[in-house]
Amino acid sequence: MSIDPIVEELDQLRAEQMERFHFDFEAFFRDLKEQEKLSPQPVQAPQKSGSRERVSSAGRYTVRR
C-alpha cells in the first residue's frame, strides 16, 4: 500500500507542531485559542446546509450529503 503524500505531509506538520509544544496538548490548545483571539476573522464551524443522513440497514455507518 502506498502512502498518500498529502497525508504524509500533514503527519509531518502535526508532529512539528506538537514538538514545538514539547508534546503538551494543553499548551498547544492554549496557543491555538490565543491565535484565535488575535485573528481578524472569527473561526467558525461550517454551517449545515440541508444535510441528509442515511444509516445502513445494519446501523454501522452514516452517510452525510
Place of cell 514538538: 19
For 3, 21, 42, 58, the CA distances from 45, given in Å and listed in that order, are 29, 25, 10, 30
In this structure, are residues 65 and 51 in contact, taking their beta carbons and an 8 Å threshold?
A: yes
Q: How many domains does the chain have?
A: 1
Would residue 7 count as lying in a domain?
yes
Would residue 17 count as lying in a domain?
yes
pLDDT in tens, 32-65: 899 888 888 876 777 777 655 555 555 555 555 5
Would residue 11 count as lying in a domain?
yes
Would residue 8 count as lying in a domain?
yes
Check pLDDT > 80 for residue 16.
yes
Residues β-bridged to residue 53: 64
pLDDT at position 13, please? 92
Would residue 57 count as lying in a domain?
no
Taking residues 2-10, report their average pLDDT.
Answer: 91
| pTM for the predicted model, two decimal places | 0.48
The helix (H) or strand (E) run that includes residue 63 is strand 62-64
